[in-house]
Structure 1
Amino acid sequence: MTALNLNPNIPDPDGFYAELLDAHEGLTDDESAAFNARLILILANHIGERAVLSEALRTAKGART
């Protein structure tokens, strides 16, 4: 089992963030939420390790502001 990696791990994080914002450009709030849901499911499928996904859910839920 692979542990959830919470360390910076994305090459060019600012470029990725800009690309993510661009992907939301012109979407309504509902379309943006649906896009996020599809993206999460695509990335969860790519990760594929149920324990890692569960840890990510717990971590995200605990990170509420």
Structure 2
Amino acid sequence: MSLKETPEEKRERLRQSEFKNNPTGSLHDTLNRGSNGNLTDLSGGMGWKGTGILILVLFFGYILYNLIF
């Protein structure tokens, strides 16, 4: 087993250390997360299959919405 850190693990480790070092900045980020959004965290954690399934679900949901309303 390799002890090398993947890019995702490194990003998360750096993010967590930033939260520890700058609590008011992370509070500001948390309060404004809804307006900014963070698609990278959403799609990065799922991989390509999960992202594809999410796109299909949104697409079929849109079609179903248009058929009903």
TM-score bracket for the superposition, by shorter chain length: 0.3 to 0.5
Higher Rg: 2
TM-score between both structures, scaled by the size of structure 1? 0.38
